[in-house]
Structure 1
Amino acid sequence: MRLKIKSVMRARLNPVTSWLYKLWLHENKEALIKLQKEIDEEVIKALLRVEHHD
């Protein structure tokens, strides 16, 4: 499940977002961990909605 979420996230990140993400990771790991959890929750909800429609 985690790998699926990560690949979905990676697919959605454009180069600029990806660069900001790496910069934020380098500068502020704790805040990023919190953000990561929120993103994971949103992606899980999105995946569940998609799976629900099938």
Structure 2
Amino acid sequence: MSSPAKRVHVIGAGPAGLMAAERLAQAGAAVVVHEAMPSAARKFLMAGRGGLNLT
């Protein structure tokens, strides 16, 4: 019998939070991402405006 997946909550859906959530999910965790802003990954959406460099 396998043990149930660990449930992990990630606070913040910015680049670091999303990367952490992805790695945890790949490791078998059940991941819930919490974000206060209306959309996730706002910095990616804002790339190119205001000098954000993602190269």
TM over 0.5: no
Looking at secondary structure, tell me which structure has more strand per residue.
2
Give the TM-score taking structure 2 as reference length: 0.29
The structure carrying a bigger helix percent of its residues is: 1
Q: TM-score, normalised by structure 1?
A: 0.29
Q: Which is greater in Rg?
A: 2
